[in-house]
A and B are shown apart, each in its own frame.
Chain A
């Protein structure tokens, strides 16, 4: 067996020069220091994305993306298909955990200043993937065509429509017309299963190749030449990663089995929005902000103000490697920390208010 394998290896090696690739993969190491725990969350995000791809494709085998059939096809999946309830529940839960893991990953990179030169492109691709994760969440949420999804989509697309000048065309493009209808569902389905996965995969490829090429980011003043302070990525750290992945898979299984995802009522364009309607937790802080802004601030619509403020904050966050010059020169940048702490506290407080108000 071993001989056969080594024969196969050398057969491929002669043709595609695997040797270089194996060396390229093997030379990465992980720094060991008091903040090393944060090195795990990118991997956890990756694992959850893989879960989403697998369970998503499985759901695709039974799902029917149309106004008349979408809700019923999910009903069929969770009641008739063997383990359908499990697969759907895992897909819903993993979506939430994926956003959570990506958030933790993003904030840890931010506070460690790991985005600084030469890793700006890694940060940018990461941020784009994070926005795309929100897009995945928003588009996937509509696919069961239930009451909550219907109004969430109405509200979400209407918010896009508030943006001056470009808002109206964007709204028409997203809704595939004036209102949220079956045409919107078809469109969101296309985004969710084709457009986003395609773009996301390319970004992920760039992100991972860059991590591999540049190695792990080290904290200021770290000496990688001290032997005890580093660990080879392959196989030592990878095995730790895999152990954590197994734990995450177990958490997922527990959540999916004991808290199966609800399907709710089928969407009806002529029913009032149900009391207690809430967006997904990762949109909550933005919605809650919109609730608090008065209808008119001076003579600007409160909505427009809120959206522009979030747009500005998002842009500021995304381009931090380019305005944070201090960190790149190895100095402390207190402003970046304060902004980050403010963002974390703001999100936590507004999300909590949204859940309990």
Chain B
């Protein structure tokens, strides 16, 4: 009587292979994950600012732009030659520099790459791809308040 050829160690061997490979992958994952997670900076909760005081109207000269701290973001308050008050996000939409009011041009100007915005915040020259986000300006008697447009 012929003996059946035993399917020798194959199933056991491949089972071990899977277990060991799987274990190795899991181990590598458990080493790499904390490292990658560590490198990701934690999100710091920021105090949500809805409006800030920008000072007294009398202290804001005509044809000027003042940088106001809006939480952790700079906002530029512009008082035009026509005595209009407007406020914009002061961060240039091009590459993150902070814009300033340029008296000669009567425009908002970014020194980094020569981008210009008109006094309604529209990107009119140079590389900026988008207009500046506008903020709301409210005058309560003498006080000037800036708030986010909802």
Contact = CB atoms under 8 A, between A and B. Distances in A.
A188 interface: no
B44 A269 contact: no
A271 to B, nearest CB: 7
A296 B127 CA distance: 9
Interface stretch (B1-9, B25-33, B89-97, B132-140): B89-97
Contact of A271 (B39, B67, B72): B67
Contact of A295 (B39, B98, B114, B123): B123
Looking at B96, B98, B129, the one whose CB has the most chain A CB atoms below 10 A away is B96
Contacts of A293: 127
A155 B97 contact: yes
A155 B91 CA distance: 11
Interface in B73-94: 74, 76, 90, 92, 94
Contacts of B65: 272
A275 B101 CA distance: 11
A24 interface: no
Contact of B95 (A158, A175, A179): A158
A5 B76 CA distance: 72
Interface in B87-135: 90, 92, 94-100, 110-114, 123, 126-129
A11 interface: no
Contact of A270 (B67, B92, B111, B127): B67
Interface residues of A, number: 33
Given A151-B97, A155-B96, A272 B67 contact: yes
A159 B95 contact: yes
Residue in B44, B111, B126 with the greatest tally of chain A CB atoms within 10 Å = B111
B13 interface: no
Contact of B113 (A176, A275, A291, A301): A291
A151 B112 CA distance: 8
A303 B74 CA distance: 23
A176 B44 CA distance: 11
Contacts of A158: 95-96
Given A273-B112, A277-B112, A154 B67 contact: no
Contact of B111 (A172, A272, A295): A272
A172 B97 contact: no
A273 B129 contact: no
Contacts of B95: 154-155, 158-159, 290, 303
Interface string B26-50: 0000000000000111011000000
A105 to B, nearest CB: 31
A294 interface: yes
Nearest to A295: B129
A301 B69 CA distance: 30
A122 B104 CA distance: 54
A290 B74 contact: no
B66 to A, nearest CB: 10
Interface residues of B, number: 30
A287 B69 contact: no
A274 B111 contact: yes
A291 B41 contact: no
A26 interface: no
B113 A173 contact: no
Given A173-B40, A177-B44, A276-B111, A154 B127 contact: no
A77 B113 CA distance: 32
A290 B128 contact: no
A172 B98 contact: no
A302 interface: yes
A293 B111 CA distance: 17
A183 interface: yes
Contact of B100 (A269, A272, A276, A291): A272
Contacts of A277: 97, 111-112
Contacts of B113: 155, 287, 290-291
Interface of A: 151, 154-155, 157-159, 169, 172-173, 175-177, 179, 183, 269-277, 287, 290-291, 293-296, 301-303
19 contacts: A155-B112, A158-B95, A179-B72, A269-B74, A270-B67, A271-B67, A272-B76, A272-B111, A273-B92, A273-B97, A274-B111, A275-B100, A277-B97, A277-B112, A291-B113, A294-B127, A296-B129, A302-B127, A302-B129
Nearest first, the 10 closest Cβ-Cβ pairs linking A and B are A272-B100, A273-B97, A158-B96, A295-B129, A273-B111, A158-B95, A176-B41, A155-B95, A154-B96, A272-B98
